[in-house]
Amino acid sequence: MSAYACRFCNAPLDLTFCDLGMSPLSNAYLRPAQLQAAEKFYPLHSYVCERCWLVQLPAHETPDHIFGQDYAYFSSYSDSWLAHCKAYCELMIKRFSFGATSQVVEIASNDGYLLQYFKAQGVPVLGIEPAANCAAVAESKGIPSLVRFFGVQTAQELRDSGRGADLLLGNNVLAHVPDLNDFVAGLKVALKPHGIVTMEFPHLLQLMAHNQFDTIYHEHYSYLSLLAVRGIFARHGLTLFDVQELPTHGGSLRIYARHGEDDSRPVAAAVAALLERETAAGLDAAAAYRKFERQVQETRYKLLEFLIGAKREGKRVWGYGAPAKGNTLLNYCGIRADLVEGTVDRSPHKQGLYLPGTHIPIHPPAKLAEAKPDYVLILPWNLREEIVQQMAHIRGWGGRFVVPIPQVQVLA
């Protein structure tokens, strides 16, 4: 019996989805001076609600602590992600004819990585971003940004100031929201009568099918199926009228929502078709969720066998990337600098710091050519193609890439 209640429907959470042990906040990168100090660890134990099938992690820290001032993630550093955002912008303008009289509002707009493309097309934009350092970068690029968390209160403020949204979007934000009801109720408030909401989030069906347990971390409160999201939106008067499957983050959904009252947009067949696939995969019953944890443990044993085997043979292993998911993986598996000597990351905001919990040092990518490791473990496996291409020169010294998920694999 857990002490937690579902963050959407308030039913008691008794069914474990996956218990990954104790883990620090995955974005709590450490400065050298912090290495000798105590670190906070929290239970990384997720549950599934047996009433609404929302998979979730109880919150142990306030969002302000997690996404406050020093939040180290700047979206603009992955080429494939930027290409994805540009394509999204073009698709929206083409499909819904947004233009100079429309208002595009992005929730969790970060450094303006996405809104810059709407701005370039002459569409008025507004970013809502809780991390002041990210919002300041956006402002410097000419993208107006409010430093706020989104919810009913912020939505009211938008409407009162005449900035209701024709397009209200949020990429990888729905899963990061602790008060899901306040957030979705806010979408309803901020949306103009014929406005459109789009949200992208990693798809639970893919997480389970491809063993992506490392996408479970403290900043990520909900793991979403279309089934669960449809119920949440419906309760707040919003109807999903289309859905697309995307390759991003290991398999995401892009949902399209409108006011329940706005029947100018019929519900596409894709919605029912995907719900049917989720039901066929058992996402509306306990049995499928019960099997997940065993599969995760097996992944850990295999990765450790590989790393210990490499060590015994005198091979050297480095990491590539310092993403949140890497911290879940390394902490859960108990991998430290004896098994993975160091990692490299393109973001200058992370270089010179250490991974939380495991204390593996983060260097600039050029460091790999100096270290010449035998294996490079790709931590952001969702960017695997891009990284293999960018870092092809490791083959020059006989280096090989390794991916940890869905099962450890040395790439040819």
180 touches Zn ion (CB under 5 A): no
6 touches Zn ion (CB under 5 A): yes
229 touches Zn ion (CB under 5 A): no
224 touches Zn ion (CB under 5 A): no
Q: How far is CA 328 from CA 200, 395, 399, in A?
A: 22, 28, 25
Number of residues that bind Zn ion (CB under 5 A): 8
As measured in angstroms, the least distance from the Cβ of 3 to Zn ion is 15
H or E element in which residue 179 lies? none
In the complex with Zn ion, the residue whose CB is nearer, 2 or 153, is 2
Which amino acid is residue 393, in one-letter code? H
Task: Dump the DSSP string for 345-408.
Answer: -S-TTTTT-B-TTT--BEE-TTHHHHH--SEEEESSGGGHHHHHHHTGGGGGGT-EEEE-SSS-
Q: Could you give the CA distance from residue 55 to residue 212 in angstroms, rounded to a whole number?
A: 14
Q: Could you give the CA distance from residue 314 to residue 211 in angstroms, rounded to a whole number?
A: 30
As measured in angstroms, the least distance from the Cβ of 54 to Zn ion is 5
Q: What is the x/- site pattern for Zn ion, positions 332-371, by CB under 5 A?
A: ----------------------------------------
Q: Could you give the CA distance from residue 118 to residue 221 in angstroms, rounded to a whole number?
A: 29
- The answer to whether the CB of 194 falls within 8 A of the CB of 218 is no
As measured in angstroms, the least distance from the Cβ of 98 to Zn ion is 35
Burial category of 36 from C-beta neighbours within 10 Å (exposed 0-12, middle 13-18, buried 19 and up): exposed
As measured in angstroms, the least distance from the Cβ of 63 to Zn ion is 20
Considering only the stretches 43-51, 99-107, 144-152, 291-299, report the one whose residues sit in contact with Zn ion under the rule CB under 5 A: 43-51
As measured in angstroms, the least distance from the Cβ of 277 to Zn ion is 21
Give every CB contact of residue 229 below 8 A, 6+ residues apart in sequence.
174, 199, 201, 240, 253, 255
Considering only the stretches 41-49, 218-226, 318-326, 327-335, report the one whose residues sit in contact with Zn ion under the rule CB under 5 A: 41-49
As measured in angstroms, the least distance from the Cβ of 49 to Zn ion is 3
Q: What is the x/- site pattern for Zn ion, positions 11-40, by CB under 5 A?
A: x-----------------------------
Cis peptide before 43 (omega within 30 of 0): no
Q: What is the x/- site pattern for Zn ion, positions 49-68, by CB under 5 A?
A: x-xx-x--------------
As measured in angstroms, the least distance from the Cβ of 219 to Zn ion is 21
In the complex with Zn ion, the residue whose CB is nearer, 49 or 324, is 49
In the complex with Zn ion, the residue whose CB is nearer, 12 or 43, is 12
- List the Cα angle 379/384/390 in 5-degree steps: 105
In the complex with Zn ion, the residue whose CB is nearer, 12 or 144, is 12
- List the Cα angle 139/143/148 in 5-degree steps: 70
As measured in angstroms, the least distance from the Cβ of 11 to Zn ion is 5
Ranges of H-type helices in 5-78: 63-67
In the complex with Zn ion, the residue whose CB is nearer, 69 or 279, is 279
Q: Which of 4, 9, 144, 304 binds Zn ion (CB under 5 A)?
A: 9
Q: List residues near Zn ion by CB under 5 A.
A: 6, 8-9, 11, 49, 51-52, 54
